[in-house]
Structure formats: structure tokens, C-alpha cells
Amino acid sequence: MADSVERDTAAEIRKAVEDYFETEGAKYMPFDERGVAHATYGVDVKFGHVEVFFHAYRDMLILHFIVPLKAGEDERAKVGEFLHRANYGLKVGNFDFDFNDGEISYRVAIYCGSDEFEPPRHEQIDAALSIGLMMIDRYGDGLVKVMFGLAEPEDAIDASEEDI
């Protein structure tokens, strides 16, 4: 009986991401031993950029957009409210907030299947990246205003969503 070799689907996902970076000419830090690569992308908000971490798992790719500012302890309740209001109605992805240290991020997942596995296509990676960057662009300045006490969460959401 021949030995069956288990398919390394995480490696296929890593290869798809590396091919994406190469095709796009993006500067990035390659995948590490944990299956994580990252790149810095500019955004049109006060903080100017986000670090995007690409997590390759056996059945999915998760893009994690880390905001370079952390909410101080005194602002965390209002920041949490702002992010919950922002999440309401989102179709793809969501904001995450760590109440322990104030870290703020946006996350988008691409499911690749288990029984019918296919690595993510260039268009899927591009769409996930674009969605995350658009959400940071849309809500970033409102987030900053709430973090620095310049706006209440509901008002900041209204301003962020006024053109929707």
C-alpha cells in the first residue's frame, strides 16, 4: 500500500500571498515560522499607515490590519462603543478591539475550503486587502477623534458614514 502524503495547504496559501506581493511589486516581510507575513500600507487618515499581517492557516488566509495607535485606558469604553457601532452592518470583515491593551485592528478572512481546498486567487487577496484598507480609511479619522476626546462615538460614526 502506497503512503499517502498529506497536502500542505498552508504552504499553498503562503505561495499565493507571495505571488500576490510579487505581482503587485509590494515590499513585505516574508512568512515566518508561525505562518505570518506582513507589509505596511498607507491610508488616508491622521495616522497615515497600517501594518497588515497575513496569517496563513491550513484552510484560510486572515488579513489583520493593525492601527498604529492604542486606546488609553480612559478612552477604551468610548472606543469600544465606536468600534461596535462601526461593525454593525458590515458585510465583510470586522473591527477588533483588545480592551486589555487598547490595540485596534480590522480583520478579513478568506476561507479556502477543507474538502474542496483552493488557495486564494490574486483577486480574492486584492479584494480582502482593499476592503480592509477602505474600512480603515472610512472610520480612521472618527476613531482618532473619539480616542482624543474630540467627538462622541455616535457623532463620529455619523460623520464617518455620511456618504454611505
How many whole angstroms from its chain centre is CA 59? 17
Helix extents (H) in 49-95: 76-87
**CA pair distance 119, 111, nearest whole angstrom:** 9
Q: Are 105 and 95 in contact (CB under 8 A)?
A: yes
Tens digit of pLDDT for each residue in 1-60? 444 568 899 999 999 999 999 999 999 999 999 999 999 999 999 999 999 999 999 999
Taking residues 136-158, what's their average pLDDT?
Answer: 97
Percent of all residues in the chain with a pLDDT value above 70, rounded to a whole number = 96
Report the Cα–Cα distance between both ends of the chain, in Å, rounded: 60
Per-residue pLDDT of 47-106, as tens digits, reads 999 999 999 999 999 999 999 999 999 999 999 999 999 999 999 999 999 999 999 999
Amino acid identity at 98: D
Cell of 161: 458614514
- Residue 1: the pLDDT is 45
CA 143 from centroid of its chain's CA atoms: 16
Residue 38: Cβ-neighbour burial (10 angstroms; 0-12, 13-18, 19+): middle
The whole-angstrom separation of Cα 94 and Cα 13 is 22
What domains does the chain contain, in order, with CATH numbers? 9-160 (3.30.1460.10)
Whole-model pTM: value is 0.92
Q: Residue 49: what are its φ and ψ, rounded to 5°?
A: -160, 165
Whether the Cβ atoms of residue 120 and residue 110 lie closer than 8 Å to each other: yes
